[in-house]
Amino acid sequence: MSTEDFTARARIRDAAIKLFTERGMEKTSILDIAAEAGVSGGLIRHHFGSKDGLREACDTHVFDELVKFKEEVLANGAANPGFLPVFDARQLRYRRYMGRAMVDGSAAAEAQFTGIVDETERYFREHGMEMPDPRGAAAALAAMTGGLMILQDHVARALGEEPGTNEAMLRMSAAAGHLFLNPLATTEVLERAREALAAYRRKE
């Protein structure tokens, strides 16, 4: 049986990561995770102490895997700026978990977010990309890529694709990549939008 390939502890952790990602922390009960992992509920407490303990274990595991993945890619030569779209299924899964964790609020997720912002800002500076507010842009960019992870099921649905499939995720990543390469609007359009709002405000 493939569920016996790993220790019960690892199976619990993986099941928790899966369910936390899909449903969020609050909507996932200990017994749901136990059933998914094929163990009793008590074993989860035995291994992780509490639900929060399990959650922290999941956070650090996902975080470590992401760091490891990044180091391995770096060792192979080119540096991925980090904000660019992702084409790897495993990394997508873990990034989606982090997105969920950011929504649910966890220390590891906060650190992850700040780390991405730091890294992106550094990339901007090192590559001479001039902009009025580099850190602001880096933070906005991190939130945007987070949104892609968090709302990927909505994206898939809007595209008529099956949620969670590689097909849907790759299409989304490719489209996001296009958006990063081409300006979406001119300054004039943005200014017009600002003007319209100002006119509206003056009226009310």
Considering only 73, 96, 108, 119, the residue that binds a second copy (CB under 8 A) is 73
Three-class SS of residue 163? coil
Burial class (CB in 10 A: 0-12, 13-18, 19+), 72: exposed
**In whole angstroms, what separates CA 68 from the centre of its chain?**
16
Q: Is 165 in the site for a second copy (CB under 8 A)?
A: no
Residues in the chain: 204
Q: Is 50 in the site for DNA (CB under 7 A)?
A: yes
Q: Name which of 21 and 120 has its Cβ closer to DNA.
A: 21
187 binds, among a second copy, DNA, none (CB under 5 to 8 A by kind): a second copy
Considering only 136, 162, 165, 167, the residue that binds a second copy (CB under 8 A) is 136
Q: Is 166 in the site for DNA (CB under 7 A)?
A: no
39 binds, among a second copy, DNA, none (CB under 5 to 8 A by kind): DNA
Distance from C-alpha of 26 to C-alpha of 56, rounded to nearest angstrom: 14
200 binds, among a second copy, DNA, none (CB under 5 to 8 A by kind): a second copy
- Residue 59 beta carbon to DNA: minimum distance, rounded to whole angstroms: 15
Q: Name which of 60 and 166 has its Cβ closer to DNA.
A: 60
Q: Alpha carbon of 56 to those of 23, 95, 109, 117, 182: distances in Å? A: 17, 16, 10, 22, 39
Considering only 29, 60, 114, 165, the residue that binds a second copy (CB under 8 A) is 114
Considering only 4, 5, 77, 126, the residue that binds a second copy (CB under 8 A) is 77
Sign of CA dihedral 87, 28, 48, 115: positive
Q: Which residue has the tokens 């990927």?
A: 152
Interacting positions 33-62 with a second copy (CB under 8 A): none
Considering only 29, 125, 157, 166, the residue that binds a second copy (CB under 8 A) is 157
Q: How would you label 81-103 residue by residue, b for 16+ Cβ within 10 Å and e otherwise? A: ebbebbeeeeebbbbbbbbbbbe
Binding residues (CB under 7 A) for DNA: these are 7-9, 28-32, 39-43, 45-47, 50-52
